[in-house]
Amino acid sequence: MAAPVKISSVFRPNLFKGKVAIVTGGGTGIGKAITQELLFLGCKVMIASRKLDRLSKSAEILRSQITNNSAKLEHMQCNIRQEDQVKELISTTVSKFDKLDFLVNNGGGQFPSVAEDIKLKGWNAVIETNLTGTFLCCREAYNQWMGEHGGVIVNIIADMWKGFPMMSHTGAARAAVDNLTKSLAIEWASHGVRINSVAPGSSIYSDTAAANYGSQDIFNMNIPGVPAKRLGTVEEVSAAVCFLLSPAASFISGETVKVDAGASLYSTIWKIPDHNKIPAYKWETDNAGCNDEEDGTKSKL
């Protein structure tokens, strides 16, 4: 077991005492940081992931870090791409804790690849995990509890505002979740449900993500494009999530908070080489011979 880690928060103690949360992908990376902070603030948390062995080990560590007597942690296996498993995740959580106040849709996954090399199987896996899985969790949380009792949902998306080269599959899925967030915020408002998104920048570093990508270089290469000139931390993301879950955000819904130090406004790491493959259109020559059949005039389209 890993050495105990001191967990803290920028929020007041017991902010979430008596609250119940589900965090998908809550045992690693950003999800683990969110879970740690929720537990520190007195929340009861159910974490879920597809890989049970890794989830169980992480849950053991997280339980050893609990310092708030109001906090409690449960875990269960769930592939969010599978509708029946998502339904069971929500029903089990409500059964164990008698309620569901918060849902954090953090579970997801992708792999770096240029678009032309992405196979349909890989494309579908990323779309189903990041978009369909998020939708299923939202729908079941609403149908099984929040539709009658209200609640707060936070979706974790990505910094895809200027496109997402090398990650077009997840960029498409996360952009869709951004729109889904807006749609559900309107549809479910009268039922007391608030829903927002948090978009971590590509410069948010976690050991788990670095291991998945096989190198820390994929993070370091982003630093020149970050106005803060450093990598972000998972705790900086979890703080944004906890803010949106808290009463301080009670008049915020349908929004996306970018946690990227302004990188989405600044520049891109994707470099386009010099080329002449997109020439200007020349009306005089490129349209030659395209005459209207009826009156003999040149077509304008």
Higher pLDDT, 154 or 202: 154
Does a structural domain hold residue 237?
yes
Domain count, the chain: 1
Q: Residues 285-296: pLDDT tens digits?
A: 877 666 555 555
Q: Which residue has the tokens 């849950």?
A: 59
Tokens describing residue 57: 């080990």
Residue 1 pLDDT grade (very low, low, confident, very high; cuts 50, 70, 90)? very low
Evaluate whether 254 touches 181 at the Cβ level (below 8 Å). Answer: yes
Does a structural domain hold residue 83?
yes
DSSP alpha helices (H): ranges in the chain? Answer: 29-40, 52-64, 83-97, 120-127, 133-141, 147-149, 168-187, 207-213, 217-220, 234-245, 263-266, 283-286
Q: What is the predicted pLDDT for the residue at 297?
A: 53
Does a structural domain hold residue 266?
yes
For residue 240, the one-letter residue type is A
Does a structural domain hold residue 13?
no
Q: What is the predicted pLDDT for the residue at 188?
A: 98
The answer for residues whose C-beta is within 8 angstroms of residue 170's C-beta and 6 or more apart is 108, 110, 126, 130, 158, 160, 164
Q: What is the predicted pLDDT for the residue at 299?
A: 53
Residues of the domain holding 222: 20-272
Q: Residues 227-261: pLDDT tens digits?
A: 999 999 999 999 999 999 999 999 999 999 999 99
Does a structural domain hold residue 300?
no
Residue 301, pLDDT above cutoff 70:
no
Q: What is the predicted pLDDT for the residue at 291?
A: 57
Residue 211 pLDDT grade (very low, low, confident, very high; cuts 50, 70, 90)? confident
Does a structural domain hold residue 176?
yes
- CA–CA–CA angle 281, 282, 284 (5° rounding): 150
Q: Residues 40-66: pLDDT tens digits?
A: 999 999 999 999 999 999 999 999 999
Does a structural domain hold residue 287?
no
Q: What is the predicted pLDDT for the residue at 161?
A: 92
Q: What is the predicted pLDDT for the residue at 2?
A: 41
| Ramachandran bin of 192, using left for φ above 0, alpha for ψ from -120 to 50, beta for the remaining angles | left
Percent of the chain with pLDDT over 70: 93
Evaluate whether 222 touches 201 at the Cβ level (below 8 Å). Answer: yes
Q: Residues 120-178: pLDDT tens digits?
A: 999 999 999 999 999 999 999 999 999 999 999 999 999 999 999 989 999 999 999 99
Provide the CATH number for the domain around residue 144: 3.40.50.720
Does a structural domain hold residue 2?
no
